[in-house]
Amino acid sequence: MIDLTHIFRYPVKGLSPQPLHDVILTAGEGLPLDRSFALTRPGGSVNPEKPGWARKSNFLCLMLDAQLAEVRADFDETTRRLTVWHDGVPMLAASVDQADGRGAIESYFQALVGLEAGARPRWVAAADGEFMDSADRTVSLINLATVRALEAKLERPLDLRRFRGNLYIDGVQPWAEHQWIGATLAIGGSRCTVDRRNARCAATNVDPATGNRDMDIPRALMDLFGHRDLGINLHVSAGGLVTVGDRVEVGAE
């Protein structure tokens, strides 16, 4: 029996996840409020006044800015406020709908990642879609048995947050998910089509608990398994309520 064990969303690209107990998926969309905000990198190709999808190198991101993992962030969708903690101490609480709030967020992260004076990142909100690593709107899924198989080879534990997935499952053999390309998954009240395997980037090298860049996960995957993939990307074909503990059925109609 395959069960859904965790649901995570990442309201701000590159920042920490928010665990959810349940979520309503919508056909053709990613997880609600997932990567809906970002901080643009100075000199990048994103127009802050009219932002759109762009490659991750145009934004502050863990692949390039390991310091982002040193803080914990929470976005309250009711109050529209972003709160940031460092070592358990609240450092910032600001409204993303007010210019002075966005300015405070930009200044804080400019200092955190060590951008020089005059090179302040810009806070942007997605007008259409999300700031995912790819332009299509997908939901990512991680098999915890696959993570354990990698742990066994590396002989060290891995924080599941390294892989920045939306849905985490357990109860199936390691790597089984790579055989599901093109299949339909029933997850709670939703139906999802498995689109592709997820090639891992250098963001996975950052320990999400410390911010230390302490591993080379893509190289380890290549050396141990002959590829850089871990996890799969899904397209939501029929929306519905998804709840932690739901059963996942492969090959559903």
Judge if 175 and 53 occupy the same domain.
no
Judge if 185 and 90 occupy the same domain.
no
Of 66, 100, 125, which residue constitutes the final position of a domain? 125
Judge if 23 and 141 occupy the same domain.
yes
Judge if 67 and 148 occupy the same domain.
no
Of 95, 125, 155, which residue constitutes the final position of a domain? 125
Spans of the chain below 50 pLDDT:
none
User: For residue range 166-190, what is the model confidence (pLDDT) as tens digits?
Assistant: 999 999 999 999 999 999 999 999 9
Length of the chain: 253
How many domains does the chain fold into? 2
Q: What was the pLDDT predicted at 120?
A: 92
Judge if 120 and 159 occupy the same domain.
no
Q: What is the CATH number of the domain that holds 188?
A: 2.40.33.20
User: For residue range 97-113, what is the model confidence (pLDDT) as tens digits?
Assistant: 999 999 999 999 999 99
Judge if 171 and 223 occupy the same domain.
yes
Q: What was the pLDDT predicted at 72?
A: 95
Q: What was the pLDDT predicted at 69?
A: 94
Judge if 141 and 26 occupy the same domain.
yes
Judge if 170 and 121 occupy the same domain.
no
Question: pTM for this structure?
Answer: 0.94
Q: What was the pLDDT predicted at 55?
A: 87
User: For residue range 33-62, what is the model confidence (pLDDT) as tens digits?
Assistant: 999 999 999 888 888 888 888 888 899 999
Judge if 25 and 138 occupy the same domain.
yes
Q: What was the pLDDT predicted at 34?
A: 94
Q: What was the pLDDT predicted at 129?
A: 63
Judge if 113 and 229 occupy the same domain.
no
For 61, the domain range is: 37-125
Q: What was the pLDDT predicted at 210?
A: 87
Judge if 62 and 104 occupy the same domain.
yes
Of 105, 125, 145, which residue constitutes the final position of a domain? 125
Burial class (CB in 10 A: 0-12, 13-18, 19+), 156: exposed
